[in-house]
Structure 1
Amino acid sequence: MHKLHADHRACQGYGNCVTGAPDVYDLDDEGVVVLLKEEIDETERSRVEEAARSCPVHALTLGG
């Protein structure tokens, strides 16, 4: 399992992550990222990591 982390202070609500993995990321009413899952298995890693990398302010990280 891989641990997903969101830096809520860095998030600016672009929503790129939501577009790339809407089952993992969402935005709250204030436009800040919400993690729908915090642990990602290997089968989802590539897709979730790509969505995290799409964040222009680097607010998302996926650790091993």
Structure 2
Amino acid sequence: MDYTLDQEKTIQEWGQEKVRALNDELNDKKGYLSEKQRDQVERELEMCQELLYTNRLKRKLSNA
């Protein structure tokens, strides 16, 4: 699926924000996550990172 430049920019901004928030949640020393919650956050983080990677790859391929 092709995205417009504005859509790609929005995906990139959202993804970076989400990755930062999830990393903060995983690395928060004060908060406690159960194993189930930690697994869920790690899966969500991985999905966001994959989306960012795919978005970047598509952008590079379309510019080549």
Greater percentage in helix? 2
Q: Which TM-score applies when normalising by structure 1? A: 0.30
Higher Rg: 2
Greater percentage in strand? 1
Q: Which TM-score applies when normalising by structure 2? A: 0.30
